[in-house]
């Protein structure tokens, strides 16, 4: 059986590796982005000089031939579902018996006047990185539009080369749609402390080119003109599925799949950033554009193709990121604004950018979500506690068990417990590093 995978990102390559572990099927991976799989999250460190591109490849180049995974560097223009054939940009045609669509995302490019002038781009692909390298040479200022994770990564990249950055965020605080106000304000202040010109409640109106068609300035909704030689459009990404037009494969925002990652066409699957679940799991979004979900989807579809039909089961939601030198972890669901049946406990170490937030149900005290800045927390602990519906009191009693900061790092559990006791009228006592704790309610 010939299995063709479109896309060599984490989802597609995970599928290929697991299919090979379980079968002798012929496997072909097609990608126009790069010849070999690389870690997309490491691209920023290539620009910053911390790594070379070859360091982003998790496997040696000989790995693919040894494991009989054929690699084709080409672009898929269209799919003929009647003949089970792909038409490639090179003019070649490739037949398949099973097809996995794992084409990832493309950067959003809203309809700003001047959006197509030279020096305006997003940051997602290897080609984006190469273009950014070229377009940011000898510039005096850059402007970034959009207050999300890609935006702050791009700000750090430019800052590492001493390029002044103006950061336009239309919301009241940085990443307002995701972070509660206290966290959003803290990160906003942190961005400013790193020398970034953060402009909140400010939107891009127009991009102005020079006589050679290169960006020379932007106009904001405040009527202000900002001179710049580069504009980073970091206003999100969308599934990369334009080539599916008129293919017969159903899609909305992404390729429509069921819980087994099957499309409406037999023997065709979709995984990773480009997949959209017709019935999302409780508490999950229809499109999940995160590294670990792509990995799980790849492993899941491999099982199904190799005879063990398996539903997508990602466990609890989690994510991690870095805001300059602040490490961010989140587990479960922490909405930017509390719902009627929720309460929150928030602790912050003043002037240190270290915090912990625990959201929980106001009647049962069941933990529902965690935000942590600057404290490393074990995924295994919080996944188990959330799945077992432990109470916030239980979690605080066992908080030492979840801490995996290195030895000699400061520990904050006692300070956290003290604040909870003061606020809630309990007496939680920490008896040691092994989590031997007990709780005595205040009389």
**pLDDT tens-digit readout, 144-187:** 999 889 999 999 999 999 999 999 999 999 999 999 999 999 99
Distance CA 164, CA 399 (A): 41
pLDDT of residue 427: 81
Structure tokens of 435? 């989590």
Provide mean pLDDT across the span 317-321. 94
Q: In CATH terms, is domain 120-235 a member of 3.40.190.10?
A: no
Question: Which pLDDT band, with edges at 50, 70 and 90, does 313 fall under?
Answer: very high
Distance CA 200, CA 190 (A): 14
Task: Name the percent of the chain lying above pLDDT 70.
Answer: 97
Domain with CATH 3.50.50.60 in the chain: 2-106+238-305, 120-235
Question: In this predicted model, what pLDDT tens digit does every residue of 401-433 receive, in sequence order?
Answer: 999 888 778 889 989 999 999 998 888 777 555
- The CATH class given to the 2-106+238-305 domain equals alpha beta
pLDDT of residue 351: 79
Write down the mean pLDDT value for the chain.
94
Name the nearest CA neighbour of 429 among 410, 414, 442: 414
Provide mean pLDDT across the span 85-107. 97
Provide mean pLDDT across the span 199-215. 97
CA angle 151, 153, 159 (to 5 degrees): 100
Distance CA 28, CA 26 (A): 7
The CATH number, out of the four listed (3.10.450.50, 3.30.390.30, 3.40.50.150, 3.90.1300.10), of the domain defined by the range 318-441: 3.30.390.30
pLDDT of residue 426: 87
Distance CA 259, CA 312 (A): 6
Mapping DSSP to helix (H, G, I), strand (E, B) and coil, where does residue 436 land? coil
pLDDT of residue 438: 38
pLDDT of residue 432: 52
Q: Helix, strand, coil: what percent of the chain each, to 5?
A: 25, 30, 45
Q: How far is CA 238 from CA 19, 255, 273, in A?
A: 27, 11, 8
Question: Is the pLDDT reported for residue 124 higher than 60?
Answer: yes
């Amino acid at each position: 059986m010939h299995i063709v995978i479109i896309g060599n990102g984490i989802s597609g390559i995970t599928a290929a590796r697991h299919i090979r572990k379980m079968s002798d099927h012929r496997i072909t991976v097609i990608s126009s982005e790069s010849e070999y799989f690389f870690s997309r999250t490491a691209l920023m460190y290539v620009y910053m000089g911390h790594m070379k591109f070859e360091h982003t490849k998790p496997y040696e180049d000989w790995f693919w031939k040894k494991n009989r995974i054929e690699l084709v560097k080409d672009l898929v223009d269209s799919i003929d579902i009647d003949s089970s054939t792909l038409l490639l940009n090179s003019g070649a045609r490739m037949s398949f018996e099973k097809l996995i669509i794992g084409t990832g995302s493309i950067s959003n490019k809203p309809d700003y006047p001047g959006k197509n002038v030279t020096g305006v781009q997003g940051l997602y692909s290897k080609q984006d990185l190469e273009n950014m390298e070229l377009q940011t040479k000898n510039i005096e200022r850059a402007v970034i539009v959009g207050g999300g994770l890609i935006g702050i990564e791009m700000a750090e990249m430019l800052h590492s080369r001493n390029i002044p950055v103006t950061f336009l965020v239309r919301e009241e605080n940085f990443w307002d749609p995701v972070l509660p106000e206290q966290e959003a304000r803290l990160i906003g202040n942190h961005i400013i402390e790193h020398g970034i010109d953060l402009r909140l409640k400010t939107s891009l109106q127009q991009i102005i080119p020079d006589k050679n068609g290169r960006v020379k300035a932007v106009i904001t909704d405040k009527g202000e003109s900002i001179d710049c030689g580069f504009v980073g459009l970091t206003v999100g990404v969308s599934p990369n599925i334009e080539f599916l037009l008129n293919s017969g494969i159903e899609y909305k925002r992404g390729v429509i799949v069921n819980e087994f990652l099957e499309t409406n066409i037999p023997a065709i699957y979709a995984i990773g950033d480009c997949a959209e679940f017709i019935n999302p799991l409780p508490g999950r979004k229809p499109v999940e554009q995160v590294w670990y979900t792509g990995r799980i989807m790849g492993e899941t579809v491999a099982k199904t193709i190799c005879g063990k039909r398996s539903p997508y089961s990602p466990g609890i939601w989690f994510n991690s990121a870095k805001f300059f030198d602040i490490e961010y972890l989140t587990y479960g669901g922490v909405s930017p604004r509390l719902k009627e049946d929720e309460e929150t406990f928030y602790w912050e170490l003043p002037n240190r950018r270290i915090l912990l937030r625990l959201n929980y149900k106001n009647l049962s005290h069941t933990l529902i979500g965690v935000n942590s800045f600057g404290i490393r927390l074990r995924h295994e602990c919080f996944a188990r506690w959330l799945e077992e519906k432990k109470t916030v009191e239980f979690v605080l009693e066992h908080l030492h068990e979840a801490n995996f900061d290195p030895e000699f790092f400061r520990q904050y559990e006692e300070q956290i417990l003290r604040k909870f006791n003061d606020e809630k009228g309990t007496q939680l006592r920490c008896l040691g590093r092994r989590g031997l704790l007990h709780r005595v309610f205040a009389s």
